[in-house]
């Protein structure tokens, strides 16, 4: 029997099932600073204009494709933990992917952990906030030890002899991740262990005990969350004979032996995957007192203020990257005969996302200027109240912002090889860490009751925009009525703080943003009732002007 006749071989045109077109591309090889007009204006306005050239160079460096990939690699290859080495020695070693170390090295070498302390002066906090904002868009998890190290300095300075000993290495721009005693290293990082199983945010319920041993103490107890266990030093709260006290705990004792701060496990977190969070036990760990016995909360209050501020920066950065990704995609993808960015309803959604991002960035950089001016009573009072307000509001607005931006991408945005799943998983973290929503609102309430001057400072800040927008003026007048009504304040706390936050954001935009932005923000945030989703801006909003502002041609 003859073999069947071979058919004519397929031509390349027959073999190709389809042509790939009308798709987006990776957002890469761009200058994160030069593309962000809102950030540029805020840097100039809030006193860090002298850093503009350096910030642009930083934004270009971290916007390169190979650098942006570090964020993906650091989260794909998560930390690993070894309790002991192969010979049986206790090491408590956390191992990271090289991408994580490169992100940390960049942060340390560019002073994200210390620059306002080593180079204080006009705009120091604003410049540092801008760099942190830019770098957090690449990867957020590594920001935890950077923030802890940055925030530890004010608390450490309450104990001058400890500050003299440790601050030079803490503020050094040398990143040394080796698991060796501190005296062998030129640069150190600081972690934090405050909360325990039974208390959580209620740190006064802590049961870890501190036993005096000469001029030092030994700690016995546990921490349900110890941030960044690979750090060299940790600020820890424990019950001393005089009450709840703050302590500095080294990973290694001065004699080079392992301090018995023992990591039990790393936390399996939904987000913040690149960063190691841990559960630990203290088995007679050497510690030095920081501040007075029984004044632990007061000692760490400045640290908490700094960490909450960094939560504002991180969440604002998440909004900006989500917006950038959505704008980049919608400028390329077409549907129903038009580019997505030209579709009326999509323009409404994108413009609304841009308003939220601009308001968050503007408030965050305004608070950076307040931190640069703590010598001014008004600014100092504003830090006390508005940091809690901003941390609560911006961090809680981020998850829905991330989701809505992801929806602009569509199905490809849900894929794990895109940035959006990471942005979305990261989005709730800052709202929970460093005091959840209720804790922030109660902190605002306590500050208002304990120090009425903070309310006066807040109102003064709002009234700087008086007469600039009728809706804002009415909103502020209504808010003043809420301040005067002390009945059931705790029950009403979230509502009041919500209104405080949008009032402050609106006041800043009225003063500093283009009229189309301020007007759209006030009309959509102050002139509505009930629930609303993004994309419900008034129909006569100048969407084009808002979108052009959100994505600057570099």
Q: What is the mean pLDDT of residues 507-535?
A: 90
The percent of residues in the chain predicted with pLDDT above 70, rounded, is 97
The predicted structure's pLDDT at residue 291: 94
The model's confidence at residue 410, banded by pLDDT at 50, 70 and 90, is: very high
The model's confidence at residue 201, banded by pLDDT at 50, 70 and 90, is: confident
CA–CA separation, 189 and 146 (whole Å): 8
Counting Cα atoms < 13 Å in the Cβ hemisphere of 209 gives 7
Q: What share of the chain is helix, strand, coil (3-state, %, to 5)?
A: 55, 15, 35
The model's confidence at residue 528, banded by pLDDT at 50, 70 and 90, is: confident
CA–CA separation, 181 and 251 (whole Å): 7
The predicted structure's pLDDT at residue 125: 98
Q: What is the mean pLDDT of residues 407-420?
A: 91
Q: Kindly tell me if the per-residue pLDDT of 369 is higher than 80.
A: yes
Q: What is the mean pLDDT of residues 508-534?
A: 90
DSSP state string for 509-525: HHHHS-HHHHHHHHHHH
Q: What are 1-34's pLDDT values in tens digits? A: 555 555 556 666 667 889 999 999 999 999 999 9
| H/E segment holding residue 38 | helix 37-45
Instruction: Kindly tell me the burial class for residue 56, based on how many C-beta atoms sit within 10 Å of its own C-beta (0-12, 13-18, 19 or more).
Output: middle
Domains of the chain: 37-294 (2.40.110.20), 298-550 (1.20.140.10)
The predicted structure's pLDDT at residue 430: 94
* Nearest one of 417, 418, 492, 439 to 202, comparing CA atoms: 439
Top pLDDT among 553 and 124 is at 124
Pairing of strands 90-95, 243-250: unpaired
* Residue 274, C-beta contacts closer than 8 angstroms, at least 6 positions apart: 71, 74, 75, 78, 79, 96, 100, 103, 139, 141, 142
CA–CA separation, 546 and 347 (whole Å): 9
The predicted structure's pLDDT at residue 3: 56
* Residue 423, C-beta contacts closer than 8 angstroms, at least 6 positions apart: 318, 321, 322, 325, 402, 405, 406
The predicted structure's pLDDT at residue 135: 98
Top pLDDT among 139 and 411 is at 139
Please list the alpha-helical segments (H only) found in 331-452: 344-372, 377-409, 420-426, 429-432, 437-450
Cα distances (Å, whole numbers) of residue 207 to 93, 195, 199, 277: 26, 10, 9, 20
Residue 307, classed as helix, strand or coil, is helix
The predicted structure's pLDDT at residue 389: 97
Angle at 393 between CA 392 and CA 398, to 5 degrees: 105
The predicted structure's pLDDT at residue 529: 57
Q: Which residues of 398-437 are buried (b: 16+ CB within 10 A; e: fewer)?
A: bbebbbbbbebbeeebeeeebbbbbbbbbbbbbbebbbeb
Q: What are 417-443's pLDDT values in tens digits? A: 999 999 999 999 999 988 888 999 999
The model's confidence at residue 254, banded by pLDDT at 50, 70 and 90, is: very high
Cβ atoms of residues 231 and 64 within 8 Å? no
Residue 334, classed as helix, strand or coil, is strand
Q: Which region among 9-18, 72-81, 484-493 has the lowest average model confidence (pLDDT)?
A: 9-18
Q: What are 285-317's pLDDT values in tens digits? A: 999 999 999 999 889 887 888 999 999 999 999
**Neighbour count for residue 212 (Cβ, 10 Å):** 13
CA–CA separation, 113 and 388 (whole Å): 21
Q: Kindly tell me if the per-residue pLDDT of 463 is higher than 70.
A: yes
Q: What is the mean pLDDT of residues 489-496?
A: 92
The predicted structure's pLDDT at residue 5: 58
Q: What is the mean pLDDT of residues 272-293?
A: 96
CA–CA separation, 105 and 192 (whole Å): 20
Phi, psi of 223 (to 5 degrees): -135, 125
């Amino acid at each position: 029997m003859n073999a069947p006749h071979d058919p004519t071989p397929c031509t390349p045109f027959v073999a190709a099932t389809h042509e790939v077109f009308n798709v987006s591309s990776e957002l890469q090889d761009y200058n994160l600073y030069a593309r962000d007009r809102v950030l540029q204006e805020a840097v100039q306005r809030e006193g860090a204009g002298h850093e503009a050239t350096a910030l642009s160079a930083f934004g270009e460096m971290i916007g390169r494709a190979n650098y942006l990939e570090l964020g993906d690699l650091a989260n794909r290859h998560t930390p690993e933990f070894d309790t002991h080495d192969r010979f049986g020695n206790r090491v408590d070693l956390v191992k990271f992917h090289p991408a994580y170390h490169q992100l940390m090295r960049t942060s340390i070498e560019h002073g994200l952990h210390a620059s306002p302390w080593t180079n204080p002066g006009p705009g120091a906090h604003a410049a540092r906030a801008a760099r942190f904002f830019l770098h957090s868009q690449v990867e957020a998890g590594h920001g935890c030890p950077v923030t802890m190290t940055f925030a530890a300095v004010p608390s450490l300075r309450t104990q001058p002899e400890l500050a003299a000993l440790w601050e030079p290495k803490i503020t050094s721009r040398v990143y040394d991740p080796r698991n060796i005693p501190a005296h062998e290293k030129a640069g150190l990082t600081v972690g934090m262990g405050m909360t325990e199983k039974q208390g959580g945010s209620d740190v006064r319920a802590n049961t870890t005990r501190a036993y005096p041993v000469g001029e030092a103490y030994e700690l016995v107890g546990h921490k349900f969350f110890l941030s960044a266990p690979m750090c060299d030093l940790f600020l820890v709260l424990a019950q001393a004979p005089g009450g709840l006290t703050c302590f500095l705990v080294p990973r290694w004792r001065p004699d080079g032996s392992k301090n018995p701060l023992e990591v039990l496990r790393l936390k399996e977190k939904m987000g913040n995957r690149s960063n190691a969070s841990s559960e630990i036990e203290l088995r007679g760990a050497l510690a030095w007192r920081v501040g007075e016995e029984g004044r632990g909360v007061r000692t760490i209050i400045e640290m908490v203020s700094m960490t909450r501020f960094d939560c504002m920066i991180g969440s604002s950065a998440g909004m900006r990257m989500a917006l950038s990704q959505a704008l980049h995609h919608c400028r390329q993808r077409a549907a129903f005969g038009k580019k997505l960015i030209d579709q009326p309803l999509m323009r409404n959604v994108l413009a609304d996302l841009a308003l939220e991002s601009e308001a968050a960035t503007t408030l965050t950089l305004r608070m950076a200027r307040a931190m640069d001016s703590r010598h001014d009573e008004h600014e100092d009072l504003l830090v006390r109240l508005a940091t809690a307000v901003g941390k609560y509001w911006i961090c809680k607005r981020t998850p829905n912002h991330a989701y809505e931006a992801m929806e602009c991408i569509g199905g490809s945005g849900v894929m794990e090889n895109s940035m959006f799943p990471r942005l979305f998983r990261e989005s709730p973290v800052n709202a929970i860490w460093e005091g959840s929503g209720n804790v922030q609102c109660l902190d605002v309430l306590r500050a208002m009751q304990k120090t009425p001057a903070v309310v006066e400072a807040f109102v003064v800040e709002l009234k700087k925009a008086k007469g600039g927008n009728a809706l804002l003026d009415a909103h502020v007048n209504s808010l003043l009525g809420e301040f005067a009504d002390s009945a059931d304040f705790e029950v009403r706390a979230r509502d009041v703080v919500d209104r405080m936050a949008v009032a402050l954001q609106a006041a800043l935009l009225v003063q500093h943003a283009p009229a189309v932005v301020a007007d759209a923000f006030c009309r959509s945030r102050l002139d509505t009732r009930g629930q609303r989703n993004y994309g419900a801006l008034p129909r006569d909003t100048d969407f084009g002007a808002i979108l052009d502002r959100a994505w600057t041609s570099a």
